[in-house]
Amino acid sequence: MLEVNTQNAGGSIVMTPVGDVDLSCSRELQGHIKRALEGKPKSLVVNLEKVPYMDSSGVATLVEAMQIARKQGTRLVLCGLQDKVRSIFEIARLDRVFTIASDVQAAAAS
Amino acid sequence: MEPRHVSSQAERASSPASTVPIPEPTGPAPVRVEMLSQPRFLSGARDLVSAVSKRCGFDDAACGQMALAVDEALCNVIRHGYDRRPDGKIWISLWPIEESGKEPTGIKIVIEDEARQVEPEKIKSRDLDDIRPGGLGVHIIQQIMSRSYFEKREKVGMRLVMLKMHNNR
Protein backbone atom coordinates (compact mmCIF):
# COMPACT_ATOMS: atom_id res chain seq x y z
CA MET A 1 0.00 0.00 0.00
CA LEU A 2 1.32 3.40 -0.96
CA GLU A 3 1.54 6.03 1.76
CA VAL A 4 0.49 9.44 0.52
CA ASN A 5 0.58 12.52 2.74
CA THR A 6 -1.61 15.41 1.65
CA GLN A 7 -1.63 18.98 2.95
CA ASN A 8 -4.18 21.56 1.92
CA ALA A 9 -3.45 25.22 2.50
CA GLY A 10 -5.29 28.17 1.02
CA GLY A 11 -6.74 26.28 -1.91
CA SER A 12 -3.43 24.70 -2.82
CA ILE A 13 -2.55 21.09 -2.19
CA VAL A 14 0.84 19.51 -1.58
CA MET A 15 0.80 15.74 -2.04
CA THR A 16 3.77 13.64 -0.91
CA PRO A 17 3.80 9.95 -1.84
CA VAL A 18 6.26 7.79 0.09
CA GLY A 19 8.04 4.81 -1.51
CA ASP A 20 8.46 3.26 -4.94
CA VAL A 21 5.67 3.99 -7.43
CA ASP A 22 5.24 1.06 -9.80
CA LEU A 23 2.41 -0.99 -11.28
CA SER A 24 1.62 -2.41 -7.84
CA CYS A 25 0.54 0.98 -6.48
CA SER A 26 0.19 3.51 -9.29
CA ARG A 27 -3.60 3.11 -9.21
CA GLU A 28 -3.56 4.14 -5.56
CA LEU A 29 -1.65 7.28 -6.46
CA GLN A 30 -4.10 7.88 -9.29
CA GLY A 31 -6.98 7.69 -6.79
CA HIS A 32 -5.33 10.17 -4.42
CA ILE A 33 -4.64 12.62 -7.23
CA LYS A 34 -8.12 12.36 -8.72
CA ARG A 35 -9.69 13.03 -5.33
CA ALA A 36 -7.42 16.02 -4.83
CA LEU A 37 -8.28 17.42 -8.25
CA GLU A 38 -12.02 16.99 -7.74
CA GLY A 39 -11.98 20.03 -5.46
CA LYS A 40 -10.45 22.09 -8.30
CA PRO A 41 -7.61 23.52 -6.21
CA LYS A 42 -5.58 26.49 -7.45
CA SER A 43 -2.51 24.31 -7.53
CA LEU A 44 -1.47 20.74 -6.89
CA VAL A 45 2.17 20.15 -6.01
CA VAL A 46 3.23 16.50 -6.22
CA ASN A 47 6.31 16.29 -4.03
CA LEU A 48 8.38 13.30 -5.12
CA GLU A 49 11.28 13.74 -2.71
CA LYS A 50 10.31 10.50 -0.92
CA VAL A 51 9.87 8.48 -4.12
CA PRO A 52 13.16 6.72 -4.93
CA TYR A 53 11.76 4.91 -7.97
CA MET A 54 8.96 5.33 -10.47
CA ASP A 55 8.09 3.32 -13.58
CA SER A 56 6.00 4.33 -16.57
CA SER A 57 2.74 3.41 -14.81
CA GLY A 58 3.51 6.15 -12.29
CA VAL A 59 4.46 8.53 -15.05
CA ALA A 60 1.19 7.73 -16.84
CA THR A 61 -0.70 8.62 -13.67
CA LEU A 62 1.00 12.01 -13.60
CA VAL A 63 0.37 12.63 -17.31
CA GLU A 64 -3.31 11.94 -16.75
CA ALA A 65 -3.28 14.30 -13.77
CA MET A 66 -1.66 17.00 -15.89
CA GLN A 67 -4.35 16.66 -18.53
CA ILE A 68 -7.16 16.92 -15.97
CA ALA A 69 -5.44 19.84 -14.24
CA ARG A 70 -5.02 21.77 -17.48
CA LYS A 71 -8.67 21.31 -18.41
CA GLN A 72 -9.92 22.68 -15.11
CA GLY A 73 -7.32 25.40 -14.61
CA THR A 74 -5.37 23.81 -11.77
CA ARG A 75 -1.62 24.43 -11.80
CA LEU A 76 0.20 21.09 -11.47
CA VAL A 77 3.83 21.17 -10.36
CA LEU A 78 6.19 18.27 -9.68
CA CYS A 79 9.07 18.74 -7.28
CA GLY A 80 11.83 16.92 -5.42
CA LEU A 81 12.60 14.45 -8.21
CA GLN A 82 15.35 11.99 -7.27
CA ASP A 83 17.84 10.93 -9.95
CA LYS A 84 16.10 7.68 -10.95
CA VAL A 85 12.74 9.41 -11.18
CA ARG A 86 14.13 12.35 -13.14
CA SER A 87 15.75 9.85 -15.49
CA ILE A 88 12.46 8.28 -16.59
CA PHE A 89 10.96 11.72 -17.25
CA GLU A 90 13.98 12.56 -19.39
CA ILE A 91 13.87 9.25 -21.29
CA ALA A 92 10.17 9.79 -21.99
CA ARG A 93 10.91 13.44 -22.90
CA LEU A 94 8.34 14.56 -20.38
CA ASP A 95 10.74 16.75 -18.41
CA ARG A 96 9.89 19.48 -20.92
CA VAL A 97 6.15 18.95 -20.61
CA PHE A 98 5.72 19.14 -16.83
CA THR A 99 6.47 22.12 -14.63
CA ILE A 100 9.24 20.75 -12.41
CA ALA A 101 10.61 22.56 -9.36
CA SER A 102 13.48 21.67 -7.06
CA ASP A 103 11.42 21.53 -3.86
CA VAL A 104 8.07 22.47 -2.37
CA GLN A 105 9.13 26.08 -1.69
CA ALA A 106 10.28 26.55 -5.26
CA ALA A 107 7.10 24.89 -6.52
CA ALA A 108 4.98 27.35 -4.57
CA ALA A 109 6.97 30.25 -5.98
CA SER A 110 6.98 29.00 -9.55
CA MET B 1 33.39 -20.56 -21.42
CA GLU B 2 29.89 -20.70 -22.77
CA PRO B 3 29.30 -21.08 -26.47
CA ARG B 4 28.00 -17.91 -28.02
CA HIS B 5 27.04 -16.69 -31.39
CA VAL B 6 26.78 -13.38 -33.13
CA SER B 7 23.17 -13.39 -34.15
CA SER B 8 21.66 -11.70 -37.14
CA GLN B 9 19.84 -9.30 -34.89
CA ALA B 10 20.54 -6.34 -37.11
CA GLU B 11 17.43 -7.10 -39.14
CA ARG B 12 15.17 -7.75 -36.20
CA ALA B 13 16.59 -5.44 -33.58
CA SER B 14 14.13 -2.97 -32.19
CA SER B 15 16.77 -0.88 -30.44
CA PRO B 16 18.38 1.50 -32.88
CA ALA B 17 21.60 2.06 -30.95
CA SER B 18 24.26 0.44 -33.14
CA THR B 19 24.90 -2.05 -35.88
CA VAL B 20 28.12 -3.39 -34.32
CA PRO B 21 27.51 -7.08 -33.58
CA ILE B 22 27.17 -8.04 -29.95
CA PRO B 23 28.30 -11.56 -29.05
CA GLU B 24 25.23 -13.15 -27.52
CA PRO B 25 25.75 -15.77 -24.82
CA THR B 26 23.80 -18.96 -25.39
CA GLY B 27 23.28 -22.10 -23.35
CA PRO B 28 21.74 -22.30 -19.91
CA ALA B 29 21.48 -18.97 -18.11
CA PRO B 30 23.61 -18.73 -14.96
CA VAL B 31 20.73 -16.83 -13.36
CA ARG B 32 17.12 -17.75 -14.10
CA VAL B 33 14.07 -17.04 -11.97
CA GLU B 34 10.38 -17.72 -12.41
CA MET B 35 7.76 -15.30 -11.13
CA LEU B 36 4.01 -14.96 -11.39
CA SER B 37 2.37 -12.10 -13.25
CA GLN B 38 1.76 -10.07 -10.11
CA PRO B 39 2.89 -6.45 -9.78
CA ARG B 40 3.85 -6.93 -6.13
CA PHE B 41 6.87 -8.96 -7.24
CA LEU B 42 8.24 -6.24 -9.54
CA SER B 43 10.45 -4.76 -6.84
CA GLY B 44 12.12 -8.14 -6.28
CA ALA B 45 12.79 -8.49 -9.99
CA ARG B 46 14.30 -4.99 -10.08
CA ASP B 47 16.57 -5.81 -7.14
CA LEU B 48 17.75 -9.02 -8.83
CA VAL B 49 18.54 -7.31 -12.14
CA SER B 50 20.26 -4.42 -10.43
CA ALA B 51 22.42 -6.74 -8.30
CA VAL B 52 23.49 -8.97 -11.22
CA SER B 53 24.17 -5.94 -13.41
CA LYS B 54 26.39 -4.56 -10.68
CA ARG B 55 28.36 -7.82 -10.70
CA CYS B 56 28.72 -7.42 -14.46
CA GLY B 57 30.55 -4.16 -13.87
CA PHE B 58 27.86 -1.54 -14.50
CA ASP B 59 27.69 1.60 -12.39
CA ASP B 60 24.73 2.40 -10.14
CA ALA B 61 22.99 4.59 -12.70
CA ALA B 62 23.18 1.93 -15.42
CA CYS B 63 22.02 -0.77 -12.99
CA GLY B 64 19.03 1.36 -12.06
CA GLN B 65 18.19 1.95 -15.69
CA MET B 66 18.38 -1.76 -16.54
CA ALA B 67 16.11 -2.52 -13.58
CA LEU B 68 13.69 0.02 -15.06
CA ALA B 69 13.88 -1.61 -18.51
CA VAL B 70 13.08 -5.02 -17.00
CA ASP B 71 10.28 -3.51 -14.91
CA GLU B 72 8.76 -2.04 -18.08
CA ALA B 73 9.05 -5.36 -19.89
CA LEU B 74 7.39 -7.21 -17.01
CA CYS B 75 4.61 -4.60 -16.80
CA ASN B 76 3.90 -5.11 -20.50
CA VAL B 77 3.65 -8.87 -20.00
CA ILE B 78 1.39 -8.47 -16.96
CA ARG B 79 -0.91 -5.87 -18.53
CA HIS B 80 -1.01 -6.77 -22.21
CA GLY B 81 0.16 -10.38 -22.33
CA TYR B 82 -1.76 -11.78 -19.40
CA ASP B 83 -4.42 -9.02 -19.15
CA ARG B 84 -3.54 -8.66 -15.44
CA ARG B 85 -4.25 -12.34 -14.79
CA PRO B 86 -2.26 -13.11 -11.60
CA ASP B 87 -1.23 -16.70 -12.36
CA GLY B 88 0.78 -16.26 -15.55
CA LYS B 89 4.37 -17.48 -15.51
CA ILE B 90 7.27 -15.20 -16.39
CA TRP B 91 10.94 -16.16 -16.57
CA ILE B 92 13.85 -13.77 -16.21
CA SER B 93 17.24 -15.06 -17.40
CA LEU B 94 20.55 -13.24 -17.15
CA TRP B 95 23.94 -13.92 -18.71
CA PRO B 96 27.15 -11.89 -18.37
CA ILE B 97 28.66 -11.13 -21.77
CA GLU B 98 32.35 -12.03 -21.56
CA GLU B 99 33.99 -11.33 -24.90
CA SER B 100 37.58 -11.77 -23.76
CA GLY B 101 36.78 -14.53 -21.29
CA LYS B 102 37.78 -12.27 -18.42
CA GLU B 103 35.72 -9.42 -17.04
CA PRO B 104 32.15 -9.05 -18.32
CA THR B 105 31.70 -6.39 -20.99
CA GLY B 106 27.94 -6.47 -20.88
CA ILE B 107 24.83 -8.35 -19.91
CA LYS B 108 22.10 -10.25 -21.71
CA ILE B 109 18.64 -10.26 -20.14
CA VAL B 110 15.75 -12.35 -21.48
CA ILE B 111 12.11 -12.14 -20.42
CA GLU B 112 9.87 -15.04 -21.45
CA ASP B 113 6.20 -15.72 -20.88
CA GLU B 114 3.34 -18.00 -21.84
CA ALA B 115 1.01 -15.16 -22.73
CA ARG B 116 -0.71 -14.62 -26.05
CA GLN B 117 1.60 -14.18 -29.01
CA VAL B 118 1.79 -11.06 -31.13
CA GLU B 119 3.75 -10.36 -34.27
CA PRO B 120 7.11 -8.90 -33.12
CA GLU B 121 7.06 -6.21 -35.81
CA LYS B 122 3.80 -4.89 -34.36
CA ILE B 123 5.45 -4.11 -31.02
CA LYS B 124 6.53 -0.51 -31.44
CA SER B 125 7.16 2.61 -29.45
CA ARG B 126 4.52 5.30 -29.84
CA ASP B 127 5.02 8.86 -31.00
CA LEU B 128 6.34 10.72 -27.95
CA ASP B 129 4.97 14.03 -29.23
CA ASP B 130 1.51 12.61 -28.61
CA ILE B 131 1.37 13.38 -24.90
CA ARG B 132 -0.94 10.85 -23.27
CA PRO B 133 -0.84 8.34 -20.43
CA GLY B 134 0.79 4.99 -21.16
CA GLY B 135 2.56 3.40 -24.08
CA LEU B 136 6.09 4.32 -22.99
CA GLY B 137 7.45 0.90 -22.06
CA VAL B 138 8.94 -0.10 -25.42
CA HIS B 139 10.50 3.34 -25.89
CA ILE B 140 12.11 3.17 -22.45
CA ILE B 141 13.53 -0.31 -23.14
CA GLN B 142 14.95 0.83 -26.48
CA GLN B 143 16.52 3.93 -24.98
CA ILE B 144 18.19 2.09 -22.13
CA MET B 145 19.43 -1.10 -23.78
CA SER B 146 22.14 -1.35 -26.44
CA ARG B 147 19.91 -3.67 -28.40
CA SER B 148 16.58 -5.40 -27.89
CA TYR B 149 14.20 -7.53 -29.89
CA PHE B 150 10.99 -9.47 -29.46
CA GLU B 151 10.33 -12.92 -30.85
CA LYS B 152 7.67 -15.56 -30.54
CA ARG B 153 8.59 -18.55 -28.40
CA GLU B 154 8.41 -21.92 -30.07
CA LYS B 155 4.94 -23.00 -28.91
CA VAL B 156 3.41 -20.33 -26.75
CA GLY B 157 4.30 -16.92 -25.41
CA MET B 158 6.81 -14.23 -26.26
CA ARG B 159 10.50 -13.66 -25.65
CA LEU B 160 12.16 -10.28 -25.20
CA VAL B 161 15.95 -10.28 -25.56
CA MET B 162 17.81 -7.25 -24.20
CA LEU B 163 21.55 -6.64 -24.47
CA LYS B 164 23.51 -3.93 -22.73
CA MET B 165 27.22 -3.28 -23.27
CA HIS B 166 29.49 -1.20 -21.06
CA ASN B 167 30.39 1.20 -23.83
CA ASN B 168 26.75 1.19 -24.99
CA ARG B 169 27.83 0.14 -28.43
B11-29, pLDDT tens digit by residue? Answer: 333 555 556 678 888 889 9
Specify the CATH number of the domain A3-109.
3.30.750.24
* B135 backbone dihedrals φ, ψ, rounded to 5°: 80, 20
- Give the integer Cα–Cα distance in Å for A4 and B79: 24
Residues of A in contact with B50 (CB under 8 A): none
CA–CA min distance B102, chain A (Å): 30
Helix-, strand-, coil-residue percentages of chain B, each rounded to 5: 30, 25, 45
A59-91, pLDDT tens digit by residue? Answer: 999 999 999 999 999 999 999 999 999 999 999
- Give the integer Cα–Cα distance in Å for A16 and B62: 27
What is the residue extent of each domain of chain A? 3-109
The ipTM is 0.92
Q: CB distance A55–B75 less than 8 Å?
A: yes
What are B's interface residues with A at a Cβ cutoff of 8 A?
Answer: 39-40, 42-43, 46, 61, 64-65, 68, 71-72, 75, 78-79, 128, 131-134, 136-137, 139-140, 143-144
B51-94, pLDDT tens digit by residue? Answer: 999 999 999 999 999 999 999 999 999 999 999 999 999 999 99
- The domains located in chain B, with CATH, are 29-165 (3.30.565.10)
CA–CA min distance B128, chain A (Å): 7
